[in-house]
Amino acid sequence: MRRYLPILDWAARYTPAALAGDLLAAVIVTIMLIPQSLAYALLAGLPAEVGLYASIAPLLLYAVFGTSRTLAVGPVAVVSLMTAAAVAPLAAQGTPEYLGAAIALATLSGLMLLAMGLLRLGFFANFISHPVISGFITASGILIAAGQVPQILGFSARGETLPEIAQALLSRLGETNSAALILGLVVMLFLFWTRSRLKPWLVRLGLADRSAGALSRAAPIASVAVTIAAVKLGGLDLPVVGDIPRGLPRPSLPPFDPALWQAILLPALLITLVGYVETISVAQTLAAKRRQRIDPDQELVALGAANLGAAVSGGFPVTGGFARSVVNFDAGAETPAAGAFTAIGMALAAFLLTPLLADLPKATLAATIIVAVLSLVDTGALGRTFHYSRSDFAAMLTTILVTLLLGVEAGISAGVILSLALHLWRSSRPHVAVVGQVPGTEHFRNVERHHVVTAPEVLSIRIDESLYFPNARFLEDRLLAETADNPGLHHVVLICTAVNVIDSSALETLEALNARLRDSGVRLHLSEVKGPVMDRLGRSPFLDGLSGQVFLTQFDAMMALAPDLTRTTRAAQRGETAKARAAR
Amino acid sequence: MRRYLPILDWAARYTPAALAGDLLAAVIVTIMLIPQSLAYALLAGLPAEVGLYASIAPLLLYAVFGTSRTLAVGPVAVVSLMTAAAVAPLAAQGTPEYLGAAIALATLSGLMLLAMGLLRLGFFANFISHPVISGFITASGILIAAGQVPQILGFSARGETLPEIAQALLSRLGETNSAALILGLVVMLFLFWTRSRLKPWLVRLGLADRSAGALSRAAPIASVAVTIAAVKLGGLDLPVVGDIPRGLPRPSLPPFDPALWQAILLPALLITLVGYVETISVAQTLAAKRRQRIDPDQELVALGAANLGAAVSGGFPVTGGFARSVVNFDAGAETPAAGAFTAIGMALAAFLLTPLLADLPKATLAATIIVAVLSLVDTGALGRTFHYSRSDFAAMLTTILVTLLLGVEAGISAGVILSLALHLWRSSRPHVAVVGQVPGTEHFRNVERHHVVTAPEVLSIRIDESLYFPNARFLEDRLLAETADNPGLHHVVLICTAVNVIDSSALETLEALNARLRDSGVRLHLSEVKGPVMDRLGRSPFLDGLSGQVFLTQFDAMMALAPDLTRTTRAAQRGETAKARAAR
């Protein structure tokens, strides 16, 4: 029970000190989350209030099911962009169908996360390698920032790819609203400045480090308040968010439309995987700092519940936010209750602040987004990866280029497929060494690296990998080629020291190899087979049909198959030792 | 040059003996191929003559580019079924669009094969594990045989899945043509009998083994001749093949229609992979029997050329046929010239025999197909695989069920995805052992299997696998969990004896682990790192930031980190040795 409801664990031992820490953290995160949630809803192509809704129920549910003490869930930039990319082809922005598709996306993603958690399928996230996710997040950051430029210029223009955005931007450059442009640039400069300089400045003014940090987190909400005031009092004429319904969302159900669900299947899977990978990486970083432990499978359950909560309360897919969780941690959050208090803060905002937000300039939110996402862009990673591994670099560059030019779904898919293909390629060519005997010993080493002796009628080959389907064909090709090239060959010995598994494909390959070698007059032997592998081979008819023998050690094999060689090298060794002795 | 044109190799050394062998084999294969090529064209939903066309140009091209001496290419059952499944949703059978789509499929598959051959991407075929291909072929055999039952009953009814075929069959059972049914059953019984009994019977009658074998291959064409005669002379009223244009095909180009090409992209890829896997396995089996060598990359080029040839001559996808190649081999084919002679035989058939084929009952061809494909069905493989490996069994059963219930494309895709997921799952949980020191020695062994000593402040962990993205998260989870559970821990030593590669994902994981362990007061050390891995680590900033050290051996690590332990166990060892000496 406690495994699935971590709240039972921490709630029983809740202390006043934890309450104080959680409350302070909740206030700071709420202040940070209000502008972000509005901005990311607009980024997803949804009405601004949906962002507030997606920051209430999911946070409460994560507090019940989550194992991380400090993770802050809610709408995040990359997943909002992926939501827009998934939903835009299905319905026109602003229609109930568009919102319905976003809700369906949250539902499906929630169900997938839940299923992965309960069936312990979290390993699926391993499909996405680090270079792919890093490249994807960099490219998404660039796409998001570019997509906000029209808002700064005072008009709306959407695009799923960099060329689309550029075209939309250029064709409507004449519509630039100078009030929006000036306000947007000022907010951006202010936010960039507060990001890097405000905290040290406040500390120099005499504030405590922690209060200075908390105050500098309030910069985005301060921009929101100031620009609302500027519009109201200054009578600026620029695009604003407009009227927002007051209060809490009404519970909703996702639309039932099989065609819709089929269309969002792949996007939902990609959102699920990307969201999970990001969440788990933040949660583990923070947990390790306090030597706490998170349960990756239970995190899937918690994120699933959070997304189902988002769906029912009319929101869109949510996940763990990086910056937000770090702020929560730094502000002293002790338990997931901090998240629940943040949810209460967001609910209060939905009641009290919504009337004020009608005059909020969209350019302010666009500036907030641009400043937030540019920290996601890590172009240095390209150079570092190039330096370290060319194949990882290829996967990263492909992900970035395809994401920018063809969109997020194509980008992450291309990256995943390419990195899997490269992985399979690597595992399909394991290291294989032809070995010979180190003269006068029972040791066998690679003929290319050591001075060893071999018998022309025996080929001893060591494979440094388990035998399974990605490399079964390689072994077959290699051994048949060796046999065709050596007419004097009568025995092949496969040394299995490094073979932990032989799967059915490899077993069939061995059976075929055995038959093919027998047809050409060569016997196949095995040596140094591990116990569990031998047990399993015993359950198949392979050993009965084996043309050769299974030797306990490679030395036994050579003693039996090429006794002269062993004797000769021993004699030579003795001779040399005698010579050496005589020389002394 | 010789690498890409193997004909240069064998044609220069062509002998009269080889010519005799090739000619005889060509006659026997032609006799076998005429009914099969007609039948498989009908199976693909195409006019019968297309089967003849697909058995001319592809064979000539394979003779030029192929490296197998005995492989016989042409239309085969499984690929014909896959062609029907790919084309049926795009156009109505019998229309020029249907034929155009089949030609486009052959073109695209040919280009894919050619590209894979020239770019050396043959390893892509490793994506399909043996249990998946075996399950797929069994299920395809069942689907094909079931799909021919309506033809035996004298009417046409198509279906892509077993339920569809069953429904089509039951709803039209009243249309059964008794002449077709009787004729079909008689031909089937005759073919089953000749398959197993004719050859021994001919040998008992005094024929040489080889002639008896050749004669028994003529059974299908004899059924064709006899049933044509029965229709012509007996005036039977049953569905026949109808008029077939006489002579060679006119060269054609595939239709240019982007939507069509996009629709056939996945089917073409699947046909390419399945065709290649089958071809290479037959070619290798036969080559090994004579200690010949085939070049898998060049085989891709040759199959690609054969398919482009099929496309230009108005045919459909072709590949290496199993039964046909074995017959070619047994009949004494010495070089690919046998295939070229077969092509000439098929061209003659297109000129001379076509007028006779108008009265060929479709039931005869259906019987030919059923008898041919039932040999593909291997239900015993299910039991053998279950016995040997549960995960391989799961992949096989899934492939069979999905193929039967949802069709060929879904079936092979599901099998490939499941087997890749299982493979990734396996490689995402490598064997990891916590090790301790064998008292008094420099050896370290698994604490769970051996009597060893450990220091409470040092965790030594050995990972028996390279570190790359599928298992990076596993290592992270495992180490962070161990750290969270051991508050007294100050050092973690990662023993890298089995680590051949550390990819970028694993490097980032190690960097994160290093930082996270440092945050919780634990230092990370490495020991026994291989030379190439160390070189690569040196190119990254990882070693500079490492909180601990890199030790040459694990013994060095324990000497440095827990000197007391080493000293104590040595002293204990000495004490025991002394005691043992005293007792003696």
ipTM of the complex: 0.74
Burial of A552 (0-12, 13-18, 19+ CB in 10 A): exposed
Counting DSSP H helices and E strands in chain A, the numbers are: 28, 8
Q: Which of residues 113-142 of B touch A (CB under 8 A)?
A: 123-131
CA separation for the pair B540, B452 (Å, rounded) = 35
Q: Whats the size of chain B, residue-wise?
A: 584
CA separation for the pair B262, B65 (Å, rounded) = 29
Query: What would the mean pLDDT of B427-435 be, rounded to a whole number?
Result: 83
A445 bridge partner residues: A436
Secondary structure of A290-338 in HEC code, one letter for each residue:
CCCCCCHHHHHHHHHHHHHHHHHCCCCCCEECHHHHHHHHHCCCCCCHH
Residue A577 is predicted with a pLDDT of 53
Residue A122 is predicted with a pLDDT of 81
Burial of B208 (0-12, 13-18, 19+ CB in 10 A): exposed
Instruction: Decide if B480 touches A, using CB distance below 8 A.
Output: yes
Q: How far is B494 from chain A (nearest CA, A)?
A: 18
CB-CB under 8 Å, B125 with A500:
no
Query: What would the mean pLDDT of A447-458 be, rounded to a whole number?
Result: 86
CA-based nearest residue in chain B for residue A134 = B505
pLDDT at B231 over 80: yes
Instruction: Decide if B490 touches A, using CB distance below 8 A.
Output: no
Q: Which of residues 1-30 of A touch B (CB under 8 A)?
A: none
A492 bridge partner residues: A459, A524
pLDDT at B569 over 70: no
CA separation for the pair B450, A500 (Å, rounded) = 19
Residues near B26 by Cβ (< 8 Å), separated by ≥ 6?
Answer: B333, B338, B339, B341, B342, B344, B345
Residue A267 is predicted with a pLDDT of 93
User: For residue B130, which residues of chain A lie inside 8 Å, CB to CB?
Assistant: 469, 472, 504-505, 508-509
A550-551, strands of its sheet edge to edge:
A444-446, A432-437, A458-463, A491-495, A523-527, A550-551
Instruction: Decide if B567 touches A, using CB distance below 8 A.
Output: no
| Pick from B288, B427, B500: CB nearest A520 | B288
pLDDT digits (tens, 9 = 90+) for A25-47: 999 899 889 989 999 999 999 99
CA separation for the pair A471, A475 (Å, rounded) = 6
pLDDT digits (tens, 9 = 90+) for A262-301: 899 999 999 999 999 889 888 888 887 777 778 888 999 9
Residue written as token pair 């007059």: A521
Query: What would the mean pLDDT of A491-509 be, rounded to a whole number?
Result: 88
Express as a percent the part of chain A with pLDDT over 70.
97
Considering only CA atoms, give the Rg of chain A.
Answer: 32
Q: How many other C-beta atoms are found inside a 10 Å radius of the C-beta of residue A323?
A: 17
| DSSP label at residue A467 | B
Name which of B72, B104, B79 is nearest B91 in CA terms.
B104
- Amino acid A225 reads A
Of A487-496, B262-271, B570-579, the poorest mean pLDDT is in: B570-579
Residue A179 is predicted with a pLDDT of 92
Instruction: Decide if A565 touches B, using CB distance below 8 A.
Output: no
Instruction: Decide if B266 touches A, using CB distance below 8 A.
Output: no
pLDDT digits (tens, 9 = 90+) for B288-324: 777 777 888 899 999 999 999 999 998 899 999 888 8
Name which of B42, B37, B39 is nearest B158 in CA terms.
B42
Instruction: Decide if B250 touches A, using CB distance below 8 A.
Output: no
Provide the pLDDT confidence category of residue B575 given band limits of 50, 70 and 90.
Answer: low
Cα–Cα separations (whole angstroms), residue A302 to A54, A283, A511, B103: 15, 12, 48, 51
Residue A520 is predicted with a pLDDT of 81
Instruction: Decide if B535 touches A, using CB distance below 8 A.
Output: no
Phi, then psi, of B208 in degrees rounded to 5: -65, 150
Structure-derived torsion over alpha carbons of residues B485, B487, B493, B499, reported in degrees to the nearest 10 = 20
Per the structure block, which two tokens stand in for A489? Answer: 């060959």
Residue B458 is predicted with a pLDDT of 93
The overall pTM is greater than 0.90: no
Name which of A93, A108, A110, A112 is nearest A50 in CA terms.
A93
Name which of A329, A227, A484, A3 is nearest B294 in CA terms.
A484
Instruction: Decide if B460 touches A, using CB distance below 8 A.
Output: no
Query: What would the mean pLDDT of A520-542 be, rounded to a whole number?
Result: 88
| Pick from B292, B505, B517: CB nearest A131 | B505
Residue B579 is predicted with a pLDDT of 55
pLDDT digits (tens, 9 = 90+) for A182-241: 999 999 999 999 888 888 888 898 888 878 887 888 888 899 999 999 999 988 889 998
Instruction: Decide if B385 touches A, using CB distance below 8 A.
Output: yes
Instruction: Decide if A511 touches B, using CB distance below 8 A.
Output: no
Name which of B221, B498, B162 is nearest A466 in CA terms.
B498
Of B147-161, B316-330, B466-480, the poorest mean pLDDT is in: B466-480
Residues near A483 by Cβ (< 8 Å), separated by ≥ 6?
Answer: A459, A489, A492, A517, A520, A522, B288, B291
Residue written as token pair 């005889």: B24
CA separation for the pair A249, A246 (Å, rounded) = 9
Cα–Cα separations (whole angstroms), residue B405 to B140, B144, B363: 11, 13, 25
B163 bridge partner residues: none
Per the structure block, which two tokens stand in for B449? Answer: 């299997």
Residue B568 is predicted with a pLDDT of 65
CA separation for the pair B46, B365 (Å, rounded) = 14
CB-CB under 8 Å, B421 with A420:
no
For chain A, the average pLDDT equals: 88
CA separation for the pair B404, B410 (Å, rounded) = 10
Provide the pLDDT confidence category of residue B114 given band limits of 50, 70 and 90.
Answer: very high
CB-CB under 8 Å, B519 with A288:
yes
Q: How far is A259 from chain B (nearest CA, A)?
A: 18
CATH number for B432-583: choose from 3.40.50.1000, 3.30.750.24, 1.20.120.1760, 2.60.40.10.
3.30.750.24
Instruction: Decide if A266 touches B, using CB distance below 8 A.
Output: no
Name which of B170, B295, B214, B436 is nearest A481 in CA terms.
B295
Where are chain A's structural domains?
A: 7-421, 432-583
pLDDT at A487 over 90: no
Per the structure block, which two tokens stand in for A186? Answer: 């000022």
Structure-derived torsion over alpha carbons of residues B255, B259, B264, B265, reported in degrees to the nearest 10 = 110
- Amino acid B255 reads P
pLDDT at B208 over 90: no
For chain B, the average pLDDT equals: 88
Name which of B88, B138, B122, B55 is nearest B373 in CA terms.
B138
CB-CB under 8 Å, B504 with A429:
no
Q: What is the DSSP string of B521-573?
A: T-EEEEES--HHHHHHHHTSTHHHH-SS-EESSHHHHHHHH-HHHHHHHHHHH
Cα–Cα separations (whole angstroms), residue B133 to A53, B377, B389: 49, 12, 16
CA separation for the pair A77, A499 (Å, rounded) = 45
HSE of B79, CA atoms in CB hemisphere, 13 A? 31
Residue B305 is predicted with a pLDDT of 96
CA separation for the pair A343, A481 (Å, rounded) = 67
- Amino acid B392 reads D
pLDDT at A418 over 60: yes
Residues near B316 by Cβ (< 8 Å), separated by ≥ 6?
Answer: B41, B44, B46, B50, B54, B75, B80, B83, B102, B103, B105, B106, B310
Q: How far is A375 from chain B (nearest CA, A)?
A: 19
CB-CB under 8 Å, A123 with B429:
yes
Local structure of A444: helix, strand or coil? strand
pLDDT at A394 over 70: yes
Instruction: Decide if B520 touches A, using CB distance below 8 A.
Output: yes
Residue A575 is predicted with a pLDDT of 55
Express as a percent the part of chain B with pLDDT over 90.
45
Report the relative pairing of strands B491-495 and B458-463 from DSSP bridges.
parallel
Q: Whats the size of chain A, residue-wise?
A: 584
CB-CB under 8 Å, B284 with A126:
no
DSSP E strands: which ranges in A400-515? 432-437, 444-446, 458-463, 491-495
HSE of A511, CA atoms in CB hemisphere, 13 A? 16
Instruction: Decide if B426 touches A, using CB distance below 8 A.
Output: yes
Listed ranges A395-409, B191-205, B318-332, B374-388; the one with the highest mean pLDDT: A395-409
CA separation for the pair A409, A398 (Å, rounded) = 13
Phi, then psi, of A156 in degrees rounded to 5: -105, 130
Query: What would the mean pLDDT of A161-183 be, rounded to a whole number?
Result: 92
CA separation for the pair A199, A464 (Å, rounded) = 55
Query: What would the mean pLDDT of B402-430 be, rounded to a whole number?
Result: 88
The end-to-end CA distance of chain B, in Å, is 78
Residue A65 is predicted with a pLDDT of 94
Per the structure block, which two tokens stand in for B117? Answer: 């051959």
User: For residue B278, which residues of chain A lie inside 8 Å, CB to CB?
Assistant: none
pLDDT at A578 over 60: no
Residue B339 is predicted with a pLDDT of 94
Picking from A121, A281, A388 by the largest number of B CB atoms within 10 A of its own CB, the best residue to mutate is A388
Report the relative pairing of strands A432-437 and A444-446 from DSSP bridges.
antiparallel
Picking from A322, A422, A473, A501 by the largest number of B CB atoms within 10 A of its own CB, the best residue to mutate is A473
pLDDT digits (tens, 9 = 90+) for A312-338: 998 899 999 888 898 888 888 999 999
Burial of A289 (0-12, 13-18, 19+ CB in 10 A): middle
CB-CB under 8 Å, A483 with B129:
no
Name which of B391, B402, B398, B448 is nearest B424 in CA terms.
B391
Residue written as token pair 């700064």: A152
CB-CB under 8 Å, B504 with A389:
yes
Name which of A289, A290, A279, A281 is nearest A339 in CA terms.
A279
Instruction: Decide if B536 touches A, using CB distance below 8 A.
Output: yes
- Distance, C-alpha B256 to centroid of its chain: 30
